[in-house]
A and B are shown apart, each in its own frame.
Chain A
C-alpha cells in the first residue's frame, strides 16, 4: 500500500530535549516536505527536499533541521525544542513539482512542556 508513515504519532517532551520525528514514504517520490499545523493558521511549510541531499527552507524553518540521506526518509529534527513548537506536524511526499498530488502522513502531535 502506498503510504507516508510518521513516528511517533504522539510525543510529549520537555524544553531543550532533542527529538527526531521520522518520515518515510514507499512511493519512490523525489519531493518531500514537512508542515506544521496550528489552529487558525492552517498548514505552514517548515522544510522541503527535492531529492537526496537537497533540502531547502520553507516558510517557518527556525528551530528545525532536516536531512535527506535516503530517498524514502526525511526526518525532522528539533535540537532544542521550545513550547512554541507545540504543534501538529505533517510529512508529505509528491512525485513531481506543482501539479502532482501531495500525499500526507497521519501527523505527529508534539507537546513541548
Chain B
C-alpha cells in the first residue's frame, strides 16, 4: 500500500523568510501528488497537484512544489512567507484509476513576526 511521510510536525518560519515543507511517498510507480492547506477551522483547499511532465509545478498563493522521482519526494516551497500562510499543510497521493487519496499526517506552519 502507498504511504506518505511528512517528517516535520511543526515548522516555525519568520515572516518574509523562505519555506520548504517536505513530503516523501512510498509507491512502486509515480502516483498523483497533491498539496492541500487547512486554515484554522476551515476545510481543505488544494494548493497544487502533479500528474506528469514538468517536475516543478506552480500553485495558488505563490506556492510551488518540485517532484523528484529519485528521492520519491514532492516538497512544497514558497520564497517569502506571509503571516496568513500559517496553517496546516497536507501532502497526499492518489493512484491512477482510483478516487482515494492517502494523506500525510500534516505539517503545522507557524509564522513569527
Which A residues fall within an 8 A CB radius of B?
31, 33, 35, 40-45, 48, 50, 58, 90, 94, 96-102, 104-107
Return A59 CB to nearest CB of chain B, in Å. Answer: 8
Return A78 CB to nearest CB of chain B, in Å. Answer: 20
Return A27 CB to nearest CB of chain B, in Å. Answer: 14
Q: How far does the alpha carbon of A94 sit from the alpha carbon of B49 in the complex, in Å?
A: 14
Q: How far does the alpha carbon of A101 sit from the alpha carbon of B45 in the complex, in Å?
A: 10
Contact B104 A45 (CB under 8 A): no
The chain B residue sitting closest to A30, CB to CB, is B99
Q: How far does the alpha carbon of A1 sit from the alpha carbon of B46 in the complex, in Å?
A: 17
Return A31 CB to nearest CB of chain B, in Å. Answer: 4
| Given A101-B49, A104-B44, A94 contacting B90 (CB threshold 8 A) | no
Q: Which of B43, B90, B101, B103 is within 8 Å of A107, CB to CB?
A: B43
Return A97 CB to nearest CB of chain B, in Å. Answer: 5
Contact A98 B96 (CB under 8 A): yes
Interface membership of B95, Cβ < 8 A: yes
Contact B94 A99 (CB under 8 A): yes
The chain A residue sitting closest to B41, CB to CB, is A107
Residues of the A chain whose Cβ atoms lie less than 8 Å from the Cβ of B46 = 101-102
Q: Can you report 9 A-B residue pairs in the complex whose CB atoms are below 8 A from each other?
A: A31-B99, A33-B99, A43-B44, A43-B101, A98-B98, A99-B51, A101-B49, A104-B36, A104-B45
Interface membership of B77, Cβ < 8 A: no
The chain B residue sitting closest to A105, CB to CB, is B43
Contact B32 A90 (CB under 8 A): no
Residues of the A chain whose Cβ atoms lie less than 8 Å from the Cβ of B44 = 43, 90, 104
